[in-house]
């Protein structure tokens, strides 16, 4: 799942996702084109981070 998709489904900004990554709260893999790719559970994790 791409960063924009996760942001939209979780109701947060792309900038917030990048911040969570910088803080070590969320991880992603990079495609060969250097785009972030998130696991299926990323939306749930972001929602949990928001609640905390």
- Give the pLDDT of residue 28: 94
Residues 32/41/12/35 CA torsion (nearest 10 deg): 0
Residue 42 is part of which domain span? 3-51
Point out which residues pair with 37 in neighbouring strands.
2, 29
Share of the chain above pLDDT 70, in %: 100
Residues of 16-30 as b/e, b for ≥16 C-beta within 10 angstroms? bbeebeeeeebebee
Cα–Cα distance, 28 to 44 (Å, whole number): 14
Tell me the three state secondary structure of residue 41: coil
**Residue numbers in the chain where pLDDT is lower than 50:** none
| Tally of structural domains, the chain | 1
State the CATH number of the domain containing residue 19: 1.10.1660.10
Share of the chain above pLDDT 90, in %: 100
User: How much is the pTM?
Assistant: 0.89
């Amino acid at each position: 799942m791409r960063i924009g998709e996760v942001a939209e489904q979780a109701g947060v900004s792309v900038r917030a996702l990048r911040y969570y990554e910088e803080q070590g709260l969320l991880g992603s893999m990079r495609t060969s084109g250097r785009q972030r790719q998130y696991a299926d559970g990323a939306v749930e994790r972001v929602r949990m981070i928001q609640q905390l």
